[in-house]
C-alpha cells in the first residue's frame, strides 16, 4: 500500500488553518477588548489626588544599595508611568515632550524617569532595577492602587502602545473641549 504524502500534508494544513482561524479571531478580539478596557480605565480622572507629590521626577539608582524596583516608584492615588530612558535617545526626548503636555491635562498622573547609564545592558538593569530593559524608552504603567497595569516585555511594546493611545485620547479630548 502506497501513501500519498503530499495529499496528507495538504489536508493537514487545511485542517490546521480551519481550526486555528476561529481561535485567532476570538483571541484577537480578546486582546482588543482587554486593551480598550485598560485604556478606558486610564481615561477616568481620579477625584482624590494626594497633595505634595511631584508629577514628574528623575530617579537615579544608588549603586551598591538595594535593588530599586519600578514598583517602589508607583505612587498610591496616582497613575504612575515609569520610563526607563537614556540621555541621548531621540524617542525618549519626544516622549518627554508629550508627557509634559499630558501632565498639564492630568493631575492624577505621575511620571518617574529612570535614567540609564550610557553603558547599560539587560543584565545591569536586572541587577539594579529588578527588571530586564531591552530598549529605550521602556515603559511600565501602574494604576492608582499601585498594581501594574501594563509593562513592555522583550520585543512586545504593550505598555508603550497603551501609553501612546492614552496620550492620543487625552489630547483629542482636550482639543474637543477647547473647540
List the chain pLDDT tens, one digit each, 179 residues. Answer: 555 545 555 555 565 555 555 544 444 444 444 456 666 666 665 444 445 555 666 666 555 566 678 888 888 888 999 999 988 899 999 999 999 999 988 888 999 988 888 888 888 888 888 888 889 999 999 999 989 999 998 878 999 999 999 999 999 998 888 87
Share of the chain above pLDDT 90, in %: 30
Q: What is the pLDDT of residues 145-170, one digit of tens each?
A: 989 999 998 878 999 999 999 999 99
DSSP line for 121-179: -HHHHHHHHSS---SSSEEEEE-TTS-EEEE-BTTB-HHHHHHHHHHHHHHHHHHHHH-
Handedness of CA 163, 169, 174, 179 (dihedral sign): positive
137/92 Cα distance (integer angstroms): 5
Q: Is the pTM of this model over 0.85?
A: no
State the CATH architecture for 44-178: 3-Layer(aba) Sandwich (3.40)
Amino acid at each position: 500500500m502506497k501513501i500519498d504524502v503530499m495529499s496528507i500534508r495538504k489536508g493537514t494544513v487545511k485542517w490546521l488553518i480551519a481550526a486555528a482561524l476561529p481561535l485567532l479571531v476570538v483571541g484577537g478580539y480578546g486582546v482588543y477588548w482587554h486593551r480598550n478596557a485598560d485604556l478606558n480605565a486610564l481615561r477616568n480622572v481620579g477625584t482624590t489626588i494626594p497633595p505634595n507629590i511631584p508629577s514628574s521626577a528623575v530617579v537615579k539608582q544608588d549603586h551598591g544599595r538595594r535593588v530599586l524596583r519600578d514598583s517602589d516608584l508607583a505612587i498610591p492615588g496616582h497613575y504612575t508611568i515609569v520610563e526607563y530612558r537614556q540621555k541621548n535617545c531621540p524617542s525618549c526626548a519626544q516622549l518627554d515632550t508629550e508627557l509634559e503636555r499630558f501632565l498639564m491635562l492630568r493631575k492624577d498622573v505621575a511620571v518617574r524617569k529612570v535614567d540609564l547609564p550610557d553603558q547599560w545592558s539587560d543584565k545591569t538593569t536586572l541587577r539594579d532595577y529588578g527588571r530586564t530593559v531591552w530598549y529605550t524608552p521602556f515603559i511600565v504603567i501602574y494604576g492608582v492602587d499601585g498594581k501594574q497595569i501594563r509593562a513592555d516585555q522583550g520585543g512586545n511594546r504593550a505598555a508603550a502602545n497603551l501609553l501612546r493611545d492614552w496620550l492620543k485620547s487625552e489630547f483629542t479630548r482636550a482639543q474637543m473641549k477647547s473647540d
